[in-house]
Chains A and B, each alone.
Chain A
């Protein structure tokens, strides 16, 4: 069994709240509306709730798995499946998280390119972002938690304050009729929503870094509830502000909403908002890369500071190779599908497998 991290590297249980919010509440808030509205139209907000609730069940399962394993996922995999297969599964999970990091990384650069600097070279921004990721992740887990926390207090108040402007022009009738779609439609919409709420799988890696980890479970649920609530609010506001046709047309409805803000000293708030959302993109990338490199360290006993450099270079290179909107969209679609399997198939499987295995051990 690999040694657990020292006490001085651990964080208090309530910081898990910010970690979960950081992983879930990211760039998704700008663009998630379209996919869900496509499936269930004006009932999209119900799909958000369904997906949010299902995430809580998955989170509960994750905690059951981790509380029994009392270590991170690489150790649990090894115990359950042996060194070979377990290692392979861990590696797959690491690659999955690192790909999520690439997806966020590239999506943020794309947002900057589309909304602020059309001529911005991808490699230039990738260089700056990757050096930022480096200085944070090299500081260790506590610094990564720090950026999650700072990003929370910098961005979430702004997110909610900015809702005040569209609320002046909403039409409640857009929400009617409620529950006008079939169960299958709701299910497919919730599937789309789940991708926005993904990222909490990092819990599998940072669980040993939490003081008195089992007690942190309630904070995880609060965090997931907070993210779901934020998605829900922006979804309802977008549904009421835009018509269905408009929502299906626009890729980033939230940013369009930000455009209408008019302070006496400031207009076009999306420039400032997108700049601030750097923190929100950064914290997701930092957790994903931290979790990925931590996993690599556990698997191959490679120094994390070395694998970090390699992983960041790879992230930046892949991000630069993704040239246009279609490729980014393609990556997001694939990742959406993969994350669906990870959340709803792999984690329940792991949960039941561990349960059966421990029962069998007790009876034999």
Chain B
């Protein structure tokens, strides 16, 4: 019964059109009097220029079938379909559809999407003084273009997936075939396919949904907004994930050391870069331990303070009414407040907050005798030190883990600090990134991977890719055979 069947199909399409028609930005009209064809589209999703210049002038003539229109239009990717969900998708992604009300069940979809996107701008959270100044934007295609420009090889492969019942977010899994471990790629793809969620707004959603330990405060995938950094990660054999609408790409597997790596490290000489990387590690250690050690020593182990330092501390702390713990927590909270208040404010107001909070409040607190100068210095240096991490996500963790340390320092002194450190280490030892150990190369100890971890050796020493990523092809470049002739002075 072809007639009934087509009538059914028609009514499905009609239902869809009525449903869409409830929105004010949905247009449907016929081309001219008695035309068998109707046009329907969302005017907020299409580009008027395409419709007015490329479509309407051509379809003004009389046509009898959709195929004829299809042949006339000089636009790629046209399709004729009678699949209702397909038609709906086309409509929602900026297509015009041509349809007839007479018997024919098919629709012609003509893509005319209006793409709103930001210009490629300079990186803001991973700014570097030297080096490229491009950053990813919200458009997936632009981002892929930025990466492809840096790795112009066919082996750079992109797998596209769709996630999110409502947002229908396009996700791209990018890797270099032949270098990236296929286990890693499969793990990523499987985990993304397993995501059940309605709306994916940003790649950090994905990052949280596919990490190994979802309760860990530590980020287990690195996120970057720099195409140069991402290209370097891909060339190393890592897998990258883009999400449409997100200006950051995530990448893995990573180790903790990756979060201490700034791309600038690769742009400066290796010994300078290594020194700064070590500085960052020490800074983070200081940031985590400084306040708690202060609390522990001043509360329980005042014997440890040398006499000269003790006199200084007595002058500074003599009139403070609070125990060191309360003093430290108050000051740490004040700094957290300052941070949190300034985080989402426009720059101009943010500066005011900094001046009022930092300078006025800090000075006043010391003069009023609420906190000691020494602690103020310790806490402020600790806060400053936590900013040295190149990846923003990690500095949040460092902010957070200071507090359990302070609490245990109050309970058990230095033993408490050690206990807290042991708990932290137990967590880090168990953590994995896409199934690869997170503390590598320290544990499991891989001496060869130290060449680009807490230090960075010159490029000539980086002939092999790191073991952690399990790259298929470990050889970055063929090393020249060492010269046989031994050197001598003035030879």
Contact = CB atoms under 8 A, between A and B. Distances in A.
Given A265-B306, A266-B304, A279 B418 contact: yes
Contacts, number: 84
Contact of B309 (A128, A143, A265, A275): A265
DSSP majority for the B interface? helix
Interface in A138-156: 139, 142-143, 146-147, 149-150
Given A143-B430, A266-B304, A278 B415 contact: yes
A242 interface: no
A117 interface: yes
A271 interface: yes
Interface string B392-431: 0000000000000000000011110111001101110110
Nearest to B429: A146
A271 B422 CA distance: 17
Interface in A284-341: none
A158 to B, nearest CB: 12
Contacts of A14: 445
Interface in B330-377: none
Contacts of A15: 444-445
B449 to A, nearest CB: 14
Contacts of A263: 306
A278 B412 CA distance: 12
B444 A272 contact: no
A272 B415 contact: no
A274 interface: yes
B443 A146 contact: yes
A136 B426 contact: yes
B304 A268 contact: yes
A275 B414 contact: yes
Contact of B413 (A117, A136, A267, A279): A117
Interface residues of B, number: 25
Contact of B444 (A11, A135, A268): A11
Interface in A247-275: 262-269, 271-272, 274-275
Contacts of A279: 418, 422
A242 B203 CA distance: 64
A282 interface: yes
Nearest to B302: A268
A135 B413 contact: no
A135 B415 contact: no
Nearest to B435: A8
Given A128-B412, A146-B439, A278 B305 contact: no
Interface string A159-194: 000000000000000000000000000000000000
A13 B25 CA distance: 69
A271 B413 CA distance: 9
A116 B444 CA distance: 34
A135 B300 CA distance: 27
A356 interface: no
B306 A264 contact: yes
A150 B444 CA distance: 10
Contacts of B427: 135
Given A139-B429, A266-B305, 18 more contacts: A112-B415, A116-B413, A116-B415, A117-B412, A132-B419, A135-B423, A146-B429, A146-B443, A147-B425, A147-B429, A150-B429, A263-B306, A267-B303, A268-B304, A272-B414, A274-B415, A278-B415, A278-B422
30 contacts: A11-B444, A15-B444, A116-B413, A117-B415, A128-B412, A132-B423, A135-B426, A136-B426, A139-B426, A139-B430, A142-B429, A142-B444, A146-B425, A146-B439, A147-B422, A147-B426, A150-B443, A266-B306, A267-B303, A267-B304, A267-B305, A268-B304, A271-B303, A271-B304, A271-B413, A272-B304, A275-B418, A278-B415, A278-B418, A282-B422
Instruction: Please list the 8 inter-chain residue pairs (A to B) with the smallest Cβ-Cβ separation, ordered nearest first.
Output: A275-B414, A146-B429, A275-B418, A278-B418, A135-B426, A139-B430, A271-B301, A268-B303
Interface of B: 300-301, 303-306, 309, 412-415, 417-419, 422-423, 425-427, 429-430, 439, 443-445
Interface of A: 11-12, 14-15, 112, 116-117, 128, 132, 135-136, 139, 142-143, 146-147, 149-150, 262-269, 271-272, 274-276, 278-279, 282
